[in-house]
Structure 1
Amino acid sequence: MDRRALLRATVLGAGVVALPFTGWSAAYGAAQAAPGPYGPLRAADANGIRMPRGFSSRVVARTGRRVPGTAYRWHQAPDGGATFAEGDGWCYVSNSEVLAAEGGGASKISFDRDGRVVSARRILSGTDSNCAGGRTPWHTWLSCEEIDRGRVFEAYPAGGAAKARPAMGRFKHEAAAADPVRKVVYLTEDEPDGRFYRFVPDVWGNLAAGRLEVMCAGPGTSGAFTWAPVPDPGGAPVRTRHQVAAAKAFSGGEGCYYANDTVYFTTKGDGRIWQLDLTAGRYRLAYDDSLVKPGPPPLTGVDNLTGAESGDLYVAEDNGSMDVCLVTPDGHVSPFLRITGQRRSEVTGLAFNPAGDRLYFSSQRGRTGLTTGGITYCVKGPFRRP
């Protein structure tokens, strides 16, 4: 197996990509604006997407309409997403951030080796406000409810009934990221005083039982951190975030991504990306929109994020200018694409296909600003390689 094939296998098997952000700016303690590696954004295409030269977009699905080539109607408010290898192609899984009565849960679209739609179907139903989530190394999708005392559900894109995983905590869940080295799953909480958690399963690969822990650290933006058990993961009557006095508060936890002994997560309330060095047991700011000098910052409303084989990090905006921004390993931040004419929406569900040449994402509310206006896209092009 050559190096590129090995990297792709790593992405497929464990969701791990080398993201060596060791060169990020020391002057302000966070990444800074700089020209992007692909050049400037060109005029919007027929789908209203601005991208660099060499990239192209297509609409994959629209809320309430049949996914092209299938009889399945795409769900409302598409949110967090991931891809999985499937046959000689792959599938894209997407959450629906609406109540169960409106069709909340998750769906998937299957593609052949050339990226053509093969089928589409529901993989999770009867759940509320499924926002983000995360894939596991054993090829399941963790779909997270963003409601008070929400649950994590483990869905099976390859087939099988989804299962609730209450041991992972009952709180306002956002995203999840599996760490196959430490055999834990990291979890964000979308509250103004949310916490950052990890779930330690009794048996790796089985999330039915285990221990929920919360990150503990001082009030600063860098330093050492530890983990402490959450006494009552059920969160009643005392919510999980208020059970451990030393737990560090974060302003609106959003996206979460693990790679190369490091976990990254975003906090939308203060426009930050946080970086935890899991080997050293230390954390720091990787990006802060208020520290970009000179302004204005290229990335605001930080939300969902994912990584590429190149070591680049891709971060979606909630509102703002509806950008997906790129953060390079040397700490340069720039817009990679922009969805035009949809300022009342947000960008969600960032996920690369297994080959790394297609990026899937959604505009959750599209042009209408309503949950019924969602659009799911795919951008193809010469993404950087290691």
Structure 2
Amino acid sequence: MERRTFLRGAAIGGSAIAFGGTLTHGAAYAAPAQNGPSPYGPLGSPDSNGIRLPSGFTSRVVARSNQQVPGTSHTWHRAPDGGACFANGSGWIYVSNSEINPGGGASALRFNSSGNVTGAYPILSGTRQNCAGGATPWNTWLSCEEVDRGYVYETDPFGVNSAVRRDAMGRFKHEAAAADPVRQVVYMTEDVGNGCFYRFIPGTWGNLASGTLQVLVAGSGTSGSYTWATVPNPSGSGTATRDQVSGAKRFNGGEGCHWAGDHVWFTTKGDNRVWRLNLTSSTYELTYDDNLVVGGNAPLTGVDNITGSSSGDLYVAEDGGNMEICLITPDEIVAPFLRIDGQSSSEICGPAFSPNGSRLYFSSQRGTSGSSSGGITYEVTGPFRS
């Protein structure tokens, strides 16, 4: 999001088919993840792009805001934010939102099997502050408006079909979405200090034109059981969606969301936490809390976008902090994976893996300039574990 507008503690506390196996072992309500050594080793010196990476990894710039994508006629959008990758024959596509209001939208980069950019084009325009979103199993990108009574737009990463507004998914300050093909629902976060966590149940899986919006209901603690309750008026007209259901659990600034198997993870920026729902037992707990790191040397602050890899690792991007993407491993170890130097007025957005897991894409929303016109979109390659 464009620079945080509230401090932690100021409010009430609280990729297509995703990879499986992440952080699912251990007893219920285990201690949140702790600082430890990265499976990739320490970060090296900054490379030519100002990125510190483990040994064996390299970075390159694939697009810059307000500049034509090399080899194409498309000018890359300002303030690049949430993103995802989609298979495209022997190549792939990376989509990225634009967190500009008004005039947000989303664009796409097309890559061939060698990783060369072969095309770039818009897939959504004329919307407001498109922050994060999520991929669907039927290969569309859900682009979410992070404004009061914002909408979800279903877009075509391949640039063929026009975007469609999905009113039934509710009008609130949307952040991220994660599709669960097992339960045939879409989970969504809400980016306000007393926001909620939602799920949308389509009338027909694969068609988001109609369905039921529900909100998570639970106690005030950091672990326990939960249920779902239907939001009576998803339009939020008169009464905000988060205030329509008694007992709806409040979260301090919902951000990224990631589904894998029987779990869904989401982040809350206001208190630097990563939450996990066990979808089988209908329980929730903390995966990470910077206040619970032993010794007080929290490696992950500014908790924001989140994605997962085939190894079961979670990758959590920072808005501020040390401008890092940090790992949370299945062994519940937290460690930096990369750090961007010289961009302290920016944030890291849109982490997403190529379909074969060999390349990680992400953006620095404001780059070295600290302005939305200075955004930079990167690719990192190297020996990612599988």
Instruction: Please report the TM-score for the alignment, with normalisation by the length of structure 1.
Output: 0.95
Q: Find the counterpart in structure 1 of residue 12 from structure 2.
A: none
Q: Find the counterpart in structure 2 of residue 104 from structure 1.
A: 104
Q: Which amino acid aligns with 1:360?
A: Y
Q: Find the counterpart in structure 1 of residue 130 from structure 2.
A: 130
Q: CA deviation at 1:99?
A: 1.7
Matched, 1:245 2:243: no
Matched, 1:21 2:30: no
Q: Find the counterpart in structure 1 of residue 38 from structure 2.
A: 36
* Distance (Å, rounded) in 1 between the aligned partners of 2:44 and 2:19: 31
Q: Find the counterpart in structure 2 of residue 285 from structure 1.
A: 286
Q: Is the 8 A contact 2:29 2:285 kept in 1?
A: no
* Distance (Å, rounded) in 2 between the aligned partners of 1:210 and 1:364: 34
Q: How does 1:39-188 map to 2 (within 5 A)?
A: 39-100=41-102, 103-158=103-158, 159-188=160-189
Q: CA deviation at 1:245?
A: 1.1
Task: Write out per-residue CA displacement over residues 159-193 of structure 1, whole angstroms, 9 at most, x where no aligned residue.
Answer: 20000001000000000000001000000000000
* Distance (Å, rounded) in 2 between the aligned partners of 1:139 and 1:15: 12
* Distance (Å, rounded) in 1 between the aligned partners of 2:26 and 2:352: 25
* Distance (Å, rounded) in 2 between the aligned partners of 1:25 and 1:92: 36
User: Alpha carbons of 1:25 and 1:261: their partners in 2 closer, same or farther (altered >3 Å)?
Assistant: closer
Q: Is the 8 A contact 2:51 2:340 kept in 1?
A: yes
Q: Is the 8 A contact 2:24 2:263 kept in 1?
A: no
Task: Write out per-residue CA displacement over residues 126-173 of structure 1, whole angstroms, 9 at most, x where no aligned residue.
Answer: 100000000000000000000000000000112200000010000000
Q: Is the 8 A contact 1:132 1:175 kept in 2?
A: yes
Q: Find the counterpart in structure 2 of residue 191 from structure 1.
A: 192
User: Alpha carbons of 1:362 and 1:24: their partners in 2 closer, same or farther (altered >3 Å)?
Assistant: farther
Q: Is the 8 A contact 1:24 1:329 kept in 2?
A: no
Q: CA deviation at 1:26?
A: 6.8
Task: Write out per-residue CA displacement over residues 198-241 of structure 1, whole angstroms, 9 at most, x where no aligned residue.
Answer: 00000000000000000000010001000000000000110000
Q: Which amino acid aligns with 2:302?
A: G
Q: CA deviation at 1:16?
A: 3.6
Question: What secondary structure is seen at the aligned counterpart in 1 of 2:168?
Answer: helix
Q: CA deviation at 1:260?
A: 1.1
Task: Write out per-residue CA displacement over residues 282-327 of structure 1, whole angstroms, 9 at most, x where no aligned residue.
Answer: 0001100000011220000100000000000000000011000001
Q: Is the 8 A contact 2:29 2:223 kept in 1?
A: no
Q: Is the 8 A contact 1:66 1:74 kept in 2?
A: yes
* Distance (Å, rounded) in 2 between the aligned partners of 1:160 and 1:184: 23
* Distance (Å, rounded) in 2 between the aligned partners of 1:25 and 1:301: 26
Q: Is the 8 A contact 1:290 1:297 kept in 2?
A: yes
Residue ranges of structure 1 left out of the alignment (5+ in a row):
1-10
Aligned residue-pair number? 371
* Distance (Å, rounded) in 1 between the aligned partners of 2:259 and 2:114: 28
Q: CA RMSD in A?
A: 1.2
Q: Is the 8 A contact 2:137 2:179 kept in 1?
A: yes
* Distance (Å, rounded) in 1 between the aligned partners of 2:94 and 2:20: 19
Q: Is the 8 A contact 1:23 1:331 kept in 2?
A: no
Q: Is the 8 A contact 1:95 1:132 kept in 2?
A: yes
Question: What secondary structure is seen at the aligned counterpart in 2 of 1:225?
Answer: strand
Q: CA deviation at 1:50?
A: 0.1
